[in-house]
Amino acid sequence: MTNKPIILLENVTKSYGTFVVAQDLNMEVRQGEIVALLGKTGAGKSTILNMIMGTQPATSGKVRVIGHDPHAEFAELRGKLAVSFQTDRLLPWRTAVENVELGLLILGMPKNEARERALIWLTRVRLEGVADMYVHELSGGMRQRVSLARALCVNPELVLLDESFSQLDHVTSHTLRVDFANVVREFNKTCLFVTHRIDDALEMADRVIVLAPGAGIALEFAINAENRKDSDWLGQMHERIAEVMGGEED
């Protein structure tokens, strides 16, 4: 982990008419960090993610991703950012491997090279045997793995996850989270993941940020390897987060 900020939000406010989703939000995600963004429904998690993705501008304040304004300089982040969503969003007419290589082809990589790299990533997410299967032939967990492989395959500096594990059963979700965190740490990626599951955040993140609706950050703390082994500490943090979220969790 370095001190280089990959995501920087300074005094960011986002409102829709008179409805304020986020006010004077200050947030930073440094290179190599895995940060969890938690908050109850309407706290503005997805809005913040959309501003970071560049699909929505901030009403006021400064948003920078890898040094660029993601909305005004949309094309500058080509190949530097990848997103995995709550639903897999795989294209049904493409096979598993064709879905994984999609981002690479868009970035202009030659077909053969893209296929080779996509196959490597399918192996990394433990899907060796399903490369030529169509989306409807895959289980929910497999599809989400393909979706993660598609995001990581383009070798992005920043990976954004929008509730990517929340639609899976707890066992599949846990396995996938562990695999994902290992890959992200192994390749020194930066990751911001939005979730409403406190356990997901405590298990994966180096730092947890909890949002309060319309009011910015309500709770923020770091987690190290020792904390993660300390069940009392984890229990206390779980309670504190649940308190801020008003008991809104799966």
Q: Which residues of this protein are in contact with other proteins, per CB under 8 A?
A: 53, 55, 74-75, 77-79, 81-83, 85, 87, 89, 91-95, 102-103, 105-107, 134-136, 154
Closest to other proteins by CB, 140 vs 235, is 140
Alpha carbons 194 and 140: distance in angstroms, whole number: 19
Alpha helices (H) along 67-110: 96-100, 102-106
Closest to other proteins by CB, 133 vs 219, is 133
Closest to other proteins by CB, 51 vs 77, is 77
Closest to other proteins by CB, 61 vs 79, is 79
Closest to other proteins by CB, 73 vs 220, is 73
Q: Going by DSSP bridges, is the β-strand pair 5-16/158-162 parallel, antiparallel, or unpaired?
A: unpaired
∠ CA 182-69-39, nearest 5°, is 55
Measure CA of the first residue to CA of the last residue in the chain; give whole Å.
Answer: 31
Residue 31 CB, shortest distance to other proteins, in Å, is: 20
Alpha carbons 116 and 94: distance in angstroms, whole number: 16
Residue 247 CB, shortest distance to other proteins, in Å, is: 30
Most distant CA atoms of the chain, gap in Å: 52
Token representation of residue 3: 């001190």
Residue 90 CB, shortest distance to other proteins, in Å, is: 9
Alpha carbons 235 and 202: distance in angstroms, whole number: 10
CB 39 within 8 A of CB 210: yes
Residue 56 CB, shortest distance to other proteins, in Å, is: 11
Residue 233 CB, shortest distance to other proteins, in Å, is: 36
